[in-house]
Amino acid sequence: MRFSDFTPFDIWLLLQGLGVSLGLFLSTSLIGLLIGTSWAVCRFYRVPVLTPVITFIAELLKNSPVLVQLFLVFFGLPGLLHIRITPTTAAMITLSANSAAFVYVIAVSAIESIGRDQIEAARVFGLTRWQVLRHVVAPQAMAFAIGPLTALLVNQLQVTSLISVIGVVDLTKIGNILNLRTLKPFIVWTVVGLLYYVCAKLLAWLGARFENRLRAHAAWRGL
Amino acid sequence: MLKVDNVKKAFGPVTVLDGVNLTIKPGEVVSILGSSGSGKSTLIRCINGLERLNGGRITVDDFDVGKPKELSEARKRSATVFQLFNLYPHMTVLGNVTLAPIEVLKKPRAEADATARALLQSVGLGDRADAYPAQLSGGQRQRVGICRALAMQPRYLLLDEVTSALDPEMTAEVLAILAKLAAEGTTMLFVTHEIEFARQISNRIVFLDKGKLLVDLPTAEFFAAEGGMANPRIAQFLSKMRKD
């Protein structure tokens, strides 16, 4: 057997890489969702000082390349703060923050899409701001946001491939390693691409199912 | 007692309410008439605390609507029915009616459900409890709006042009329910363009014009030639409204 042949162990390697990619994707998405939504809630409550600060940070994160942010965190922060940052930590920080910024934008527009008259009705009946948020705004905002959120998550899954650049052994990095060993780029990258594709499709399918459930109340089901 | 005391409200340079005084005693039905833009809806929005006053005071059973600490108590005592229904589209009819009783009055769900179903039954929607607002006609939606308000067992029912968005048939549907409520002694503040109906159910009629309260008279007096009709503005308004 030549060193450039594929071995069954390569499948195991690919699955490991996929695990790292999915693990990072899921954890950073979850953190991003939590941070992004709580930022949006801050804005719903019109918290002074905090709201403009959040908007400013979100703007910075949205309008610069993820790769640049990743380099800044991985190479820039350690020098500035004299700390050590592992590639995984850098990836976690960058991807979470980046997801948070986009989730924030989606959540804000979702909250603002809810008719003011319903919110007023709920307020008049004596519900507190929190109760209005929980029972009137959130369920409808979720139904509104789930489409854009699914699109965002599908995109974030692809974006995780950038972290291979700073040495995180994710699916793309494994692809790189296999490619260098086997010198069969077409096969390697097709397989890697397909793995991403299947995961993204699965994600989109889950999102669509969830959306249907959340929109159960709407009589209008599109054209 | 619901008391509106010298209330002033302006949106920017536009004065909408200009020193309005009004008292509603329990059991009374008071109708507010006036042309569009006279401040009728704004008055309702001031009473239920949706607008901040520029002057004066509104108290509901001695709870000052203008004081944040008393507003929630004041709001528990009144309930509003809106012109455009303002139902929660993601909740079933039952959910719409029970949300506030459960969350605000802290009623157990079973009790709130039972009350809601009885109310819906009484307005002829007993079989639509599990429908969503989008599946109902306008008249049905407004009946749900009325049930939602009544489920709070309010001492004062505020009705803001509740039939303006409905066709004559649906209007009749809704007015029949209001007539029944009036007969049962429900206290109501009724902003409307349905003059004949107001005449039938009201104890008093109030006429608003350009933010000022022109007259506040018992119904019979309001329509008498020497009473409200003696006021040229009111005579003009009524004659125009009756043409159609």
Mean pLDDT by 10 residues, chain B (244 residues): 94 92 94 90 93 93 92 92 93 96 95 96 93 92 94 94 88 89 91 90 92 92 86 87 65
List CB contacts (< 8 A) between B135 and chain A.
Answer: 219
Which amino acid makes up residue B112? A
pLDDT score of A169 more than 90:
yes
Angle at B131 between CA B127 and CA B133, to 5 degrees: 125
Q: Would you tell me how many other CB atoms lie within 10 Å of the CB of residue B186? A: 18
| CATH value at residue B172 | 3.40.50.300
How high is the mean pLDDT of chain A?
Answer: 92
Question: Does residue A221 lie within any of the structural domains?
Answer: no
- CA–CA distance from A145 to each of A86, A150, A212, A222, B4 (Å)? 34, 8, 12, 16, 43
Q: What is the pLDDT of residues A30-78, one digit of tens each?
A: 999 999 999 999 998 888 999 999 999 999 999 999 999 999 999 999 9
Q: Does A123 touch chain B (CB under 8 A)?
A: yes
- Position A115 scores a pLDDT of 87
Number of domains in chain B: 1
| Residue A114 placed within a domain | yes
Residue A113 dihedral angles phi and psi, to the nearest 5°: -75, -15
pLDDT tier at A220 (50, 70, 90 boundaries)? low
Map tokens 């491939």 to a residue: A161
Name the token pair of B48.
């239920």
A74: domain CATH number is 1.10.3720.10
Q: Is A122 an interface residue toward B (CB < 8 Å)?
A: yes
The answer on pLDDT for A222 being more than 70 is no
CA-nearest residue of chain A to B46? A124
Q: What is the pLDDT of residues A80-96, one digit of tens each?
A: 999 999 999 999 999 99
Residue B185: its pLDDT value, please?
87
The interface predicted TM-score (ipTM) is 0.89
Do A118 and B87 lie within an 8 Å CB cutoff? yes
Question: Which chain A residues contact residue B103 at CB under 8 A?
Answer: 127, 131, 135
- % pLDDT > 70, chain A: 97
Range of the domain at B56: 2-86+158-243
- pLDDT computed for residue A213 by the predictor: 85
CB within 8 Å: A135 and B99: yes
The confidence score (pLDDT) of residue B229 equals: 83
**Quick one: DSSP state of residue B231?**
S
Surface-to-core class of residue B174, CB atoms within 10 Å of its CB (0-12 exposed, 13-18 middle, 19+ buried): buried
Nearest-neighbour CA in chain B from A156: distance (Å): 30
Residue B120 to chain A, least CA–CA distance (Å): 18
Classify residue B32: in a domain, yes or no: yes
Residue A221: predicted pLDDT? 52
For residue B222 the two structure tokens come to: 């309001």
Answer whether A176's CB lies under 8 Å from A19's CB: no
Residue A118: inside a domain:
yes
DSSP A47: -
Does B93 reside within a domain? no
Q: Is A219 on the interface with B (CB under 8 A)?
A: yes
pLDDT given at position B82: 94
Q: Could you report the per-residue pLDDT of A104-157, keeping only the tens digit for each? A: 999 999 999 998 899 999 999 999 999 999 999 999 999 899 999 999 999 999
Strand partners, B190: B31, B159
What's the confidence (pLDDT) of residue B47? Answer: 94
Q: A92: domain range?
A: 8-214
The predicted pLDDT at position A5 comes to: 83
Q: How much is the pLDDT for B243?
A: 60
Question: How many structural domains compose chain A?
Answer: 1
CB B87 within 8 A of CB B140: no
Angle at alpha carbon of residue A38, lines to A109 and A141, rounded to 5°? 35
- Our CA-based measurement puts residue A136 at a distance from the nearest CA of chain B, in whole angstroms, of 7
Q: Is residue A135 part of a domain?
A: yes
Name the pLDDT band for A223 (thresholds 50, 70, 90): low
Min distance A145 CA to chain B CA atoms (Å): 15
Nearest beta carbon to residue B134 from set A124, A125, A218:
A218
